[in-house]
Structure 1
Amino acid sequence: MTDQLPRTDLADRTFAAVLFDLDGTLVDSTAAVLRSWVTWAIEHDVDPLRLQGFHGVPARQIVSQLVHPDQVDSASQRIDDLELTDVTGVVGLPGAAEALAALPAGRAAVVTSCTRLLAEARIGAAGLQPPGAVVTADDVTHGKPDPEPFLLGAERLGVPPGDCLVVEDAPMGLASARAAGMATLAVTTTTAAADLDADLVVTSLADVELRSTSDGVRVVRRSA
């Protein structure tokens, strides 16, 4: 796999399926995430500034880089507990509900670095109806930026990776998608457009229409 794929014009393509990231793409959980991780960092004598640059990476992978190996299990459990008990202010992002509703069964999946319980909690708090296929950190050995999560998403939908479109907000997630050989659509919810390496960058999912046809899914830019 390579993360040096040539750019593709999404308007000229039809996709077998769309794989959505969760936090920052479908739901706004920024405040809850910040509260939980700052609390965790203080408890574990970690400078909160060291948490920068990890957006989109599974919690356990982050923890393993910040604490002694003997503490990884307990520290990972602690951040899981903190995040599960704080979904205050978690809401659906513009265009998220419409994008999910536009895609029939078998053409959509959520691929997130959350654990399954946390993904369910945030999707529920945001009032979104998730697709049947949801890949979480519990399902993979290597999280984003490794391609494994998105490859598993394609596998569960029974479609070739090269026929998938990934919607992401984080550089780590986009790197994962490109390494999996997938086209990319980025939203600028959490990261500046200049820092998003994607085939198409928009402000939110409200800027595009995902149009399902008998041949697959097309991406249509909405008029300003």
Structure 2
Amino acid sequence: MTDLGPLADRTFAAVIFDMDGTLIDSTPAVMRSWRTWAVEHGITPEDLLFHHGVPAAGVVAAVLPDHQYDSALARINELELADLEEIALMPGAREALDAVVAAPHAIATSCTRPLAAARLRLSGIVAPDVLVTADDVERGKPNPDPFLAAARGLGIDPADCLVIEDAPAGVQAARSAGCAALAVATTVDADDLAAADLVISDLSAVRLVPTDGRIRIESAS
């Protein structure tokens, strides 16, 4: 049975999901695209470490000089949109989304809107009414802007939202926004997600349960 720790006795008005690594397994495609991009721009894999969960624009700005920014960003966007192979649902994702289908929920992703739409379509996920992408905010994760925008779109106080994330940058963004954070250790070690309220293996470890107009978490076993 999963120990729910500080989330055991809490309920929430809404759930905000990250997308890649949380709901959708796009890791093979992401790695292929960024590996190709890195080779083309003389970047080593080590140069890209610690940027997981950060929008492509933030990664490009961090590792290349300003004069290469526009062309380099356009190139990684092109590569990612061209590689949509092996896109699949993460464990427990379908059940989690089905559980909150009638409750306030949103997706806040570091993808561009075209890429998010493509990956959602291929994974069979219907985009929620509130979908926040990298194109919708001036500052992406680890800044709080994506989750603040999602909460605003839902009309709910960020403090009453549960964010589900797989990346340290996303957890940092959630906490900065004032949201509770449930982390899934699907793409990084659990120790790297220690800032979250609770870390689980993946969404199959818990159930989201609508109760009296709110959402609570239960152990799945």
Could you tell me the TM-score, scaled by structure 1's length?
0.93
Q: Secondary structure at the match of 2:8?
A: helix
Select 1:49's aligned residue among 46, 50, 71. 46
Distance 2:109 2:35 in 1: 21
Select 1:167's aligned residue among 164, 176, 179. 164
Alignment-mate amino acid for residue 163 of structure 2: V
Q: Secondary structure at the match of 2:159?
A: helix
Q: Who is 1:215 aligned against?
A: 213
Q: Secondary structure at the match of 1:120?
A: helix
How far residue 106 of structure 1 moved from its aligned partner, in angstroms, is 5.4
Alignment-mate amino acid for residue 49 of structure 1: E
Q: Who is 1:195 aligned against?
A: 192
How far residue 105 of structure 1 moved from its aligned partner, in angstroms, is 4.6
5+ residue gaps, structure 2, are none
Do structure 1's residue 91 and structure 2's residue 88 form an aligned pair?
yes
Distance 1:134 1:106 in 2: 15
Q: Who is 1:148 aligned against?
A: 145
How far residue 173 of structure 1 moved from its aligned partner, in angstroms, is 0.3
How far residue 87 of structure 1 moved from its aligned partner, in angstroms, is 1.1
Alignment-mate amino acid for residue 190 of structure 2: A
Alignment-mate amino acid for residue 38 of structure 1: R
The sequence identity of aligned pairs, in percent, is 53
The answer on whether the counterparts of 2:103 and 2:213 sit within 8 Å (CA) in structure 1 is no
Distance 2:102 2:53 in 1: 25
Cα pair distance change 1:106/1:155, threshold 3 Å: farther
How far residue 216 of structure 1 moved from its aligned partner, in angstroms, is 0.7
5+ residue gaps, structure 1, are 1-7
Give 4+ residue runs of structure 1 displaced > 3 Å after superposition.
Answer: none
Alignment-mate amino acid for residue 217 of structure 1: I
How far residue 130 of structure 1 moved from its aligned partner, in angstroms, is 2.6
The answer on whether the counterparts of 1:41 and 1:47 sit within 8 Å (CA) in structure 2 is yes
Do structure 1's residue 19 and structure 2's residue 8 form an aligned pair?
no
Deviations 1:150-205 (CA, angstroms, capped at 9, x unpaired): 00000000000100000001111000000011111011101111121211111111
Q: CA RMSD in A?
A: 1.4
Moved more, 99-108 or 209-218: 99-108
Cα pair distance change 1:105/1:134, threshold 3 Å: farther
Distance 1:185 1:218 in 2: 12
Q: Who is 1:134 aligned against?
A: 131
Distance 2:64 2:201 in 1: 35
Alignment-mate amino acid for residue 134 of structure 2: A
Q: Who is 2:59 aligned against?
A: 62
The answer on whether the counterparts of 1:16 and 1:164 sit within 8 Å (CA) in structure 2 is yes
How far residue 66 of structure 1 moved from its aligned partner, in angstroms, is 1.6
Distance 1:136 1:106 in 2: 21
How far residue 28 of structure 1 moved from its aligned partner, in angstroms, is 0.7
Distance 1:194 1:68 in 2: 32
Distance 1:96 1:66 in 2: 33
Q: Secondary structure at the match of 2:164?
A: strand
Q: Secondary structure at the match of 1:156?
A: helix
